[in-house]
Amino acid sequence: MITTLGSPLKEDPKRPAQAKSRIDPARSFVIVAAVTCGGGSLLWTLFTGFVEPDAALAFGVLIAVGELARITLPGNREVAPIASAGAIGYTFLLDVGGEPVHHSAWQVIAVVAVGIALGELPHIAVGRGPRWSDLARRGLVIVLVALAFRPVAARVSPDSQHWWIGLCVMASLVMLAWLVDSVLAAAIRAERLRTRLSVAIRDESRAQFALGMAIGSSGILIALASTVTGLAGLLVFTAPLLVTQVAFRRYAEIRLTYLQTVRSLSRVTEVGGYVETGHSRRVSHLAQAVGCEMGMRESELLALEYASLMHDIGQLSLRSPIASGATVLASPREQRRIAELGSAVIRETGVLDSVAELVRRQCESWQGDGDDGRPPLGSRIIKVANAFDDLVGASTNPDRIEAVLQRLRMDTGHEYDPTVVDAMARVLDRPAARW
């Protein structure tokens, strides 16, 4: 049986019930590992007792406040910079105001777990539950850093002649933490979007590098400053990270508003009766699924989403709508005219030239019609996804879906990219995934 990935096709009621859910091994492993380590460390610390409770309380409160102020970045990435910096600072803490501290790695993990839990309670109470995989990753990274650093903390005292060794160890562990976090996030992303792990690792590394280094360096500064200023240093060195977090939050809000604007603009053709209701959304979801299947990068997927949402906007220039809005049934000349007019409208924004190019070349044959060579992969994907939805629409009939796939395969010699058609067939032939 055939279903689409977030597309117009609903799951076949005859499909076995177990196919409706999917277990993601990487996501499950990260969550179980984080819960086990956090719960076990808390029980052990309660049994053996807390040491330096004032420092534990101060850092626990900072972590809770930071978790309460968590933000969601583009790419649906949930981060808590202040909480993460506080957790790293407590992990690297060597002394407070000249008094050495002796807390173990297990106490670090316990304090971080309690702080994260307290910070999440208000979110859960109002129905804004966290992304559990992101939450677990934040905790699990601290587990690894604490287990690596705390056993050797006494040997890297800031008062020793070899203090720089301790600083190098801290910096190395921050880099290691960033790498581990990027790999874990990439594994979860690859499972969720059904994309290639190598592509996901590259996307996550780029997306998290700047913020990860800011968090790590802030955590090191907090730990070293506490040697001189005591616990008052928490407030002083958390302020720069708070400013950074505000900037990231505004950037995320701008990106979200931009996407919402594009989605609203894509509905103009539906409201005007030029295309069927839901056509642009269905084409967009299917195109993104195919893009993930073919290993497109995150930036390319974003441009593909914008282009597929607005691929039919050129129809607004038509004197009378095409029957059912199916551009696949229009003449090649009319298809090209619609694509070029849509591209011209998009170029007027001044910031979506790459998206406009994808829209402009969506009607060309997959091998190219002129001197520009083969159309971009995004254009070839939109061409296939649009043709499929034009011919299938909201139908859930598997025979009709299979017939349309066969029709597209028959036209792969000239019109449609055979690799794109094959990728779409694989997407359609698996249970609906989560987006």
Maximum distance among all Cα pairs of the chain, rounded to whole angstroms: 82
Domain boundaries, the chain: 17-258, 267-428
In this prediction, residue 39 carries a pLDDT of 94
Question: What is the distance between the alpha carbons of residues 9 and 428, in angstroms, rounded to a whole number?
Answer: 9
245 closest CA partner among 119, 60, 85, 128: 85
Spatial contact of 218 and 237, defined as CB atoms under 8 Å apart: yes
CATH architecture assignment, domain 267-428: Orthogonal Bundle (1.10)
pTM of model > 0.75: yes
In this prediction, residue 271 carries a pLDDT of 77
238-270, pLDDT tens digit by residue? 777 777 778 777 877 887 787 788 878 778 877
The model's confidence at residue 5, banded by pLDDT at 50, 70 and 90, is very low
In this prediction, residue 89 carries a pLDDT of 92
Q: Are strands 95-96 and 71-73 parallel, antiparallel or unpaired?
A: unpaired
Could you tell me what percent of the chain has a pLDDT over 90?
36
How many CB atoms sit inside 10 A of residue 262's CB? Answer: 19
Identify the three-state secondary structure at position 325.
Answer: helix
Mean per-residue pLDDT, 124-152: 92
Spatial contact of 112 and 5, defined as CB atoms under 8 Å apart: no
Question: What is the distance between the alpha carbons of residues 101 and 107, in angstroms, rounded to a whole number?
Answer: 12
- Using the structure block, give the residue that is written with the tokens 């694509």: 339
Question: What is the distance between the alpha carbons of residues 312 and 383, in angstroms, rounded to a whole number?
Answer: 11
Characterise 364 by phi-psi region: left (phi > 0), alpha (psi -120 to 50), beta (else): beta
Mean per-residue pLDDT, 305-319: 83
The model's confidence at residue 95, banded by pLDDT at 50, 70 and 90, is confident
Phi, psi of 99 (to 5 degrees): -100, 115
In this prediction, residue 373 carries a pLDDT of 83
The model's confidence at residue 124, banded by pLDDT at 50, 70 and 90, is very high
Rg of the chain (C-alpha set):
26
In this prediction, residue 434 carries a pLDDT of 33
Q: Are strands 77-79 and 71-73 parallel, antiparallel or unpaired?
A: antiparallel
Q: Is the pLDDT of residue 201 over 70?
A: yes
Spatial contact of 231 and 55, defined as CB atoms under 8 Å apart: yes
In this prediction, residue 163 carries a pLDDT of 67
What are the structure tokens assigned to 160, written together?
Answer: 């020793």
